Amino acid sequence: MASRARPLNLPATALAALLLALVAAPLAAVALRGAGLSFGSADWAAVRFTLLQATLSALLSTLLAIPVARALARRRFPGRGALIVLMGAPFLLPAVVAVLGLLAIFGRTGLLNAGLQTLGLPAISIYGLQGVLLAHVFLNLPLAVRMILQGWLTIPAERIRLAQSLGFGPAEISHHLERPMLREVLPGVALVILIICLTSFAVVLTLGGGPRATTIELAIYQAVRFDFDLSRAAGLAGLQVAICAVAALAAWAIVRPAAFGAGLDRATALPAPGGWRCGADALALSAATLFLLLPLLAVVLRGLPGLTDLPASVLPAAGRSILVALASATLATVAALTLALAAAARPSALVEGAATLPLATSGLVLGTGLFLIVQPFTPPMTVALPVTILVNTALTLPYLYRILLPETRALQVDYGRLADSLSMSGWPRLRWLVLPRLARPIGFGAGVAAALSMGDLGVITLFAGERQATLPLVVQQLTGAYRIEAAASAALILVTLSFALFWACDAGGRRAAA
């Protein structure tokens, strides 16, 4: 019996509670070890800077992604599919690798400054807020483009044909179709990027140019490592989660379902207007391609020379990383789908919070807290890989959830009542309705999750024993031992594997949807 006030289903409630516990328990464990809490003026400065850079990064990434996604949605050209996949790559880069790629283009001796010098123009500096924003847009624009493009693809063909038969021009299409879609999609996109940037650490520190660019995460580092003030660390981490919660609630309040209604899944491309719009689309696409692919090319070129004499330990480390990535991506996909289906059936602040807050947890506090929880029972080394899988699952779930949610909601609105009236539930509903209709976002989301857990150092640094290094840890060890060239090659292998995992999942999803 499907009633209107359907209660949240049990698995989703349990999952949400588990996720919230995973955020809260390490925080509490760290807080309990400390005594008394006091924030200094430096901490508030860190909070202000963090908010500033994260907000600007989110706005810039989201706004710049709109023209790129629209151009991809309404233009057809050879290599379009490959471009869409390849443009996703920067998002999957480990931060340190991305920074070195960006420096090859925008650094003091990078391509851009070399060009400016030949023209006799003054050099530009990447270090400072501008560099932080540049790197965050580089890393997050791909995610934003893909999420917004997904939105464009969900506009049913029937609405587009109706618009065409009514003689809508680009302006009317924008007003009646695109804007409602954007209104639904953009808050979620901006929110995810805002939260990613809230906890960004290595990028901000390396490109920030000095203590002006101190973020909350760095203040947490200082509290744990410099002052051993665990209560301050927990307090700052709590503050970070609170900021994220406020942002999540705000985004949740803004979202309005676009309510296009169901279509018959006929493929109709959006009309591709000519004139200046054609030029604008070409410009958006070529600018984005250059911006995203040049640094990526630099990463590849840096890594090539050392490939021939890589240390043997790269192989088992790569194996461990793939294992972690596949395990956590599978878990995260199942969990995110459960939560998204529950939230689509019945809006729930609990689910929304549980699926968002893990992103905002401080990596250092999460690791330290889990360490404190685990240590009385077993030497942390013995559970390094399970803990890494668990944490990566929790940390990648929010991306998956955001990617799945808009289409899951549309699915519920368009087909929910029909399925209910047919008493279609459980496995048959999943098999014949949900999985086929959501194959595309599931494939994309699982790919993102797999690639992210591949490149994430996360808690492994606190837990890893002597022979348990994952690939990102080996990259770090190589740079720590002066072996910069070998590190660049190991990083290239890491990036290639991440990308291969992403591509396999993404292409699988699109094939299943086709």
Quickly count: other Cβ atoms within 10 Å of residue 194's Cβ: 27
Show the binding pattern over residues 289-308: x = contacts another protein (CB under 8 A), - = does not: --------------------
For the segment 143-202, give every residue that binds another protein (CB under 8 A): 201-202
Q: By CB under 8 A, is residue 375 in contact with another protein?
A: yes
Q: By CB under 8 A, is residue 377 in contact with another protein?
A: no
285 vs 384, beta carbon nearer another protein = 384
Spatial separation of the C-alpha atoms in residues 63 and 192, rounded to whole Å: 14
Spatial separation of the C-alpha atoms in residues 309 and 386, rounded to whole Å: 31
For the segment 444-473, give every residue that binds another protein (CB under 8 A): 461-462, 464-466, 469, 473
Q: Least CB distance from residue 365 to another protein, whole Å?
A: 12
Q: Which of 273, 295, 251, 258 is nearest to 102 (CA)?
A: 295
Q: Which of 119, 112, 187 is nearest to 356 (CA)?
A: 187
Q: By CB under 8 A, is residue 218 in contact with another protein?
A: yes
Q: Least CB distance from residue 237 to another protein, whole Å?
A: 15
Q: By CB under 8 A, is residue 221 in contact with another protein?
A: yes
Q: By CB under 8 A, is residue 268 in contact with another protein?
A: no
Q: Least CB distance from residue 111 to another protein, whole Å?
A: 12
Q: Least CB distance from residue 60 to another protein, whole Å?
A: 21
Q: What long-range pairs does 175-181 form, CB within 8 A, spacing at least 24?
A: 177/260, 178/70, 178/152, 180/256, 180/258, 180/259, 180/260, 181/151, 181/152, 181/154, 181/155, 181/258, 181/260
**Angle, helices 484-513/276-303, rounded to nearest 10 degrees:** 140
477 vs 496, beta carbon nearer another protein = 477
Cα-flanking dihedrals φ and ψ of residue 378, to 5°?
Answer: -155, 150
70 vs 302, beta carbon nearer another protein = 302
Q: Least CB distance from residue 218 to another protein, whole Å?
A: 7
Spatial separation of the C-alpha atoms in residues 156 and 269, rounded to whole Å: 10
125 vs 425, beta carbon nearer another protein = 125
Choosing from 205, 251, 442, 492, the residue that interacts with another protein (CB under 8 A) is: 205
Q: By CB under 8 A, is residue 96 in contact with another protein?
A: yes
106 vs 401, beta carbon nearer another protein = 106
Q: What long-range pairs does 39-47 form, CB within 8 A, spacing at least 24?
A: 39/232, 39/235, 39/236, 42/214, 42/219, 43/216, 43/219, 43/232, 43/236, 45/214, 46/214, 46/215, 46/216, 46/218, 46/219, 46/236, 47/216, 47/239, 47/243
Q: Least CB distance from residue 227 to another protein, whole Å?
A: 8
Contact range with another protein by CB under 8 A, out of 172-180, 217-225, 258-266, 393-401: 217-225
367 vs 443, beta carbon nearer another protein = 367
Spatial separation of the C-alpha atoms in residues 321 and 179, rounded to whole Å: 41
Contact range with another protein by CB under 8 A, out of 225-233, 320-328, 422-430, 446-454: 225-233
Cα pseudo-dihedral 505, 507, 511, 514, rounded to 10: 120
Q: Least CB distance from residue 288 to another protein, whole Å?
A: 25
Spatial separation of the C-alpha atoms in residues 398 and 449, rounded to whole Å: 9
For residue 246, give both structure tokens. 């406020």
Provide CB contacts within 8 A for 127, sequence distance 6+. Answer: 207, 208, 209
473 vs 513, beta carbon nearer another protein = 473
Q: By CB under 8 A, is residue 104 in contact with another protein?
A: yes
Answer for the pair 353, 248: CB distance below 8 angstroms, yes or no. Answer: yes
Interface residues with another protein (CB under 8 A) are: 33, 42, 96, 99-100, 103-104, 107-109, 127, 201-202, 205-212, 214, 218, 221-222, 224-226, 228, 311, 313, 368, 371-372, 375-376, 379, 381, 461-462, 464-466, 469, 473, 476-484, 487
